[in-house]
Amino acid sequence: MELDAIESQSAYLDYNATAPMRPAALTAMHEALSAVGNASSVHHHGRSAAGRVDRARRSLAELLGCSPGEIIFTSGATEANNLALHAAYAGQQLIVTSAVEHPAVLETARALTCGTPDSLTILPVDRYGQLDTEALNASFLGRDVSLVSLMLANNETGVITDLSPMIEAAHSAGALVHTDATQYVGKLPLDLGELDVDLMSLSAHKFGGPQGVGALFIRRGIRLPQRPLTFGGGHERGWRAGTLNVPGIASLGAAAEAAKRNLLEDASRSTKLRDLLEGELLSRLPGSYVNGAGAPRLPGVTSITFPGAPADAVLSSMPDVAASDGSACAAGAPSPSHVLIAMGLSREDADATIRFSLGYSTTEQEVRRAVASTVQAVTHVQALMSATAGP
């Protein structure tokens, strides 16, 4: 089948990899692209571009419950995570993070501390993907801790971290707290007036904005040396050089407005559809199980293991369903998902896991199509695997 034909008939259940752009975000991007103007220029074209950026900053701040001046626009969550960790770590002290973080945090932390291996503690999670405050407290003993970086929701399982006790413990130890909220923002209500993190990363393309733009929240008044990753024109209050991506930022702002407007409605619809998908697959495919099912999870995400059915084989037998084996960011990597391994899955089960992620425009029809195709593909692959298995 031609790629276009597959796309038009397929169920798109890969929102955690990237969500379809919201119509308002497309319009805002088109308008900004059609106008000329560098947000730093003083003439009216420049002022109009700067106006789009200001509006986006306000819209994002409203979604997050912070003030516009606390937002630095970046090229995405990877850059925001890098920026946060680089600024907060001055060498020698300790960074604490978790085994289920996105590589944009884990690899940055490893790179920053590579000369001093004692400087990095990676906390384990339980089989539900959850952290233990006692383990966090124990990691601080006798150490000068600069930063605790823990994600708000996991990209592979949707498991939500109970951050408040972790924040309290980290602050008592004198550490700054960063959270990678990339998968959480725009999916559930978030109020930075209550969630007392110092730094938070996000990315527009996970909530209906474009790829290649995101933001870092930096709480006003925290003690953080400014260590930009790029040098040049001092944009974004000196945190980042490079001409602002006005169309991307304007579009991010429009996506934030739309996400805020429909937040609770979208969350409840996604949860209902996710529960339908899970319920049908678990009952029709005995032996399958949901990772992190006992923990609070994001509305539209489910990570399901189908023992005996490698996910790459299942996914290639159902071209009408767009889902993901493990995390799309690590797709093509030969190693199994570090998140599922950290939760105690065997390598075989981790390799037999599919992440379905639904969102604001998922329909029941797509879910029913995905159920039918997944049941057929998993049954087929399981039969093939047991036929080819040795005695």
Residues of this chain that interact with ligand PMP (CB under 6 A) are 76-78, 102, 104, 151, 155, 180, 182-183, 203, 214, 329
Measured from the CB atom, the residue of 77 and 85 that comes closer to ligand PMP is 77
State the minimum distance, in angstroms, from the CB of residue 365 to ligand PMP: 27
State the minimum distance, in angstroms, from the CB of residue 325 to ligand PMP: 14
- For 33, 155, 372, the CA distances from 355, given in Å and listed in that order, are 34, 9, 16
State the minimum distance, in angstroms, from the CB of residue 269 to ligand PMP: 21
Is the separation of the CB atoms in 379 and 388 below 8 Å? no
- Return the amino acid letter for 313: A
- In the chain the beta strands, taken as DSSP E runs, fall at 11-12, 71-74, 94-98, 120-123, 145-149, 176-180, 199-203, 214-218, 289-290, 301-305, 321-322, 324-325, 353-357
Measured from the CB atom, the residue of 203 and 382 that comes closer to ligand PMP is 203
The CA distance from 147 to 160, in Å, is 20
State the minimum distance, in angstroms, from the CB of residue 92 to ligand PMP: 27
- For 12, 97, 150, the CA distances from 125, given in Å and listed in that order, are 30, 11, 12
User: Is residue 329 annotated as part of the catalytic site, yes or no?
Assistant: yes
**Which position's Cβ is nearest ligand PMP?**
76
Measured from the CB atom, the residue of 183 and 302 that comes closer to ligand PMP is 183
Measured from the CB atom, the residue of 105 and 145 that comes closer to ligand PMP is 105
CA 196-200-201 angle, 5° bins: 165
Measured from the CB atom, the residue of 73 and 306 that comes closer to ligand PMP is 73
- In 15-119 the beta strands, taken as DSSP E runs, fall at 71-74, 94-98
Q: Which of 329, 341, 384, 385 is catalytic?
A: 329
State the minimum distance, in angstroms, from the CB of residue 45 to ligand PMP: 28
Other C-beta atoms closer than 10 Å to the C-beta of 77 total 27
Q: Token match 């940055």: residue?
A: 108
Residues that are catalytic: 329
